[in-house]
A and B are shown apart, each in its own frame.
Chain A
Amino acid sequence: MQALVNRAIEGFVRSTYGDEFWQSVLRRTGFANASFDALLDNDPNVTAQVIAAIAVALGKTKEEVLEDIGTFLVASPKMRPVRRLLRFGGADFVEFLFSLNDLPARARLALPELDVPQLTLREHRGDRFRLRVVSPPETPQRYGHVMLGLLRAMADDYGALVFLEHHGDAGAEELIEVTLLESRFATARDFSFADSPA
């Protein structure tokens, strides 16, 4: 799992910012391996260091970097398999949202050692959904912001207009609120999405 995460990060950085930038990130972390090997276990702390180094180098927050990675997973042509697998979730964005409940089980079916975050989607009214993201507690990684970027890109993918909000985290648990605007766009703009129901 960790190695797959590392490979995704590497793919994101190299294809977005170039090989040279990637090498400079690795130098910054003092991490000599120029390429992580997917499917072999790696140290999650290395991953955390790499993310921090990317953030510093880009002048972004770690959360922004993680969100960019989530978007990359779906939007990049290089990550076509990921996007396709996600699209299997449903014919429209709402169906896709509900398929997230099955995603960890599906992922484990394909690769038993995958330790993906636990995802729980619940509907709150017809157009509002809450996705609870519980990251594997034994790693320092939090996948909430990655999911945020991924959802944004998937909404684009489905041609849906959504509003996404990340609601802090309590330990390994994060909450993402998804509001589907769709055709009621004008009305929805007046709606105060920022105030999440308690």
Chain B
Amino acid sequence: MTVSAQPDNGLGIERLLDALCPMHAILCRCGQIHHAGPTLAKLAARERPLEGMSIFDLLEPIRPCDAPDLPALLAHSGARLHFALRAPPRTELKGVIMPLPSCPPAARPDAVGAADHAGQPAAVLNLSFGISIVDAVRDFALTGADFAATDLAVEMLYLVEAQSAVMEELRRLNNRLNGARLDAEARATTDMLTGLGNRRAMERALEDVLADESVFSLMHLDLDFFKQVNDRFGHAAGDHVLQVAAQRLLAALRSKDVVIRLGGDEFMLILPGVINPVQVDATAYRLIDTLEKPISFGAERLQISASIGSGICQPHRGMDIEALMREADTALYAAKAAGRRSHRLYTPSLGQIGTRPMMLTHPAGRG
């Protein structure tokens, strides 16, 4: 195309550029906007009419940053330029500037006679949104008609939109799957009858306690007379007893204590910080007392009790959980052998056949 130096000769270059690059500005040598493309005009809708305004009042040059006037900008003809709108939302724009063919070359900004041409079209600055397009579309209510027919902007917007729709769908799917996972995990570590943790939860609880390097006692509790209740009143009664027993154990202990149902009528209790043998023994008998209170089941009053064997995990003993559980188990066996409804704390002698278990003090009046 050929462009005459005359500014207002009705060449129709404005129309041409409006269609090909609707975000262009034809600039006069003085930096004034001679004509702005329709989309650029939309960006500055709140400004005074763009025509006659200085491009430097509309845009802040970011790259190059030292371009106070048009000749300085023209020194970067053809290069990738970077601007920001001076007015909020300070949209960032990419751009390229080229001198109009018949104008004095940019290399001679101080050419003789430049002042005479100050008000004449000297350059075309074409702008585009780069990545700011997503915000710009919202900020300036742009439509497909605001982009050149060949512009990939709409394709990009489409992708962004499609991507976010897919991400949203994925997020929902993720939430559903995560909900299912948490549910499955809870089921995996929960005894569904009593709501207590199960054997798997115990392993985790013990790991937690050990990770804290805290001392604790481990109680292995076995209900007494449970089988009789089950046999005589049925499984529903047995289930009810287990549920009540679980609630009573929880109610009798501190919130940081862990109550696990190992299965059947066996429970495991982890009592962080409780390592004084007297305190362990007192706690055990408190638990036996609470479990011995009659349990209502319909018209029946069910009576159970419990035997408890304990082991104490002390810091100097190392952290052998298996050994500790064996100790609690041995102590429980001793408690059962001693006639049930009692508590035994593990001592090394308990593990030896034929040795009488050590009796710890317990509340007076107990049979």
Q: Which residues of A contact B (CB under 8 A)?
A: 4, 35, 37-40, 81-82, 84-85, 88, 90-91, 106-107, 109-111
Q: Are B165 and A85 in contact (CB under 8 A)?
A: yes
Given that A37-B177, A85-B158, A90-B144 are contacting pairs, would A110 and B163 also be in contact in the complex, using a CB cutoff of 8 Å? yes
| B145 at the binding interface (Cβ < 8 Å) | yes
Give the distance to chain A from B46, nearest Cβ to Cβ, in Å: 25
Interface size class of B (residues with CB under 8 A): 20 to 34
Report chain A residues within 8 Å CB of B164: 81
Report chain B residues within 8 Å CB of A81: 161, 164-165, 168
| B169 at the binding interface (Cβ < 8 Å) | yes
Q: Are B161 and A91 in contact (CB under 8 A)?
A: no
**A175 CA to B246 CA, complexed, in Å:** 68
Report chain B residues within 8 Å CB of A88: 144, 154, 157-158, 161
**A111 CA to B165 CA, complexed, in Å:** 10
Interface centre among B145, B158, B163 (most CB of A within 10 A): B158
Q: Which residue of B lies closest to A3 (CB)?
A: B173
| B15 at the binding interface (Cβ < 8 Å) | no
Report chain A residues within 8 Å CB of B157: 88
* 11 new A-B contacts at CB < 8 Å, known A84-B161, A111-B166: A37-B173, A37-B177, A40-B173, A81-B161, A81-B164, A82-B165, A85-B165, A88-B144, A88-B154, A110-B159, A110-B162
Q: Are A106 and B158 in contact (CB under 8 A)?
A: yes
User: CB within 8 A of B173: which of A39, A91, A110?
Assistant: A39
Report chain A residues within 8 Å CB of B145: 91
Give the distance to chain B from A134, nearest Cβ to Cβ, in Å: 22
The 8 closest A-B pairs by CB, nearest first: A110-B162, A81-B165, A88-B158, A91-B144, A38-B169, A111-B166, A91-B145, A110-B166
Give the distance to chain B from A34, nearest Cβ to Cβ, in Å: 12
Give the distance to chain A from B146, nearest Cβ to Cβ, in Å: 10
Report chain A residues within 8 Å CB of B176: 35, 37
Query: 8 Å CB contacts to A: which residues of B180-216?
Result: none
Give B323-335 as 1s and 0s: 1 = Cβ < 8 Å from A's Cβ atoms.
0000000000000
Give the distance to chain A from B28, nearest Cβ to Cβ, in Å: 33
Q: Are B173 and A109 in contact (CB under 8 A)?
A: no
Give B133-169 as 1s and 0s: 1 = Cβ < 8 Å from A's Cβ atoms.
0000000000111000000001101110111111011
**A127 CA to B173 CA, complexed, in Å:** 43
User: CB within 8 A of A39: which of B143, B158, B161, B169?
Assistant: B169
Q: Are A85 and B161 in contact (CB under 8 A)?
A: yes
Q: Are A91 and B143 in contact (CB under 8 A)?
A: yes
**A40 CA to B177 CA, complexed, in Å:** 11
A-B contact pairs, 25 of them (CB 8 A): A4-B169, A35-B176, A37-B173, A37-B176, A37-B177, A38-B169, A38-B172, A38-B173, A81-B161, A81-B164, A81-B165, A85-B161, A85-B162, A85-B165, A88-B157, A88-B161, A90-B144, A91-B143, A91-B145, A106-B162, A107-B162, A109-B159, A110-B159, A110-B165, A110-B166
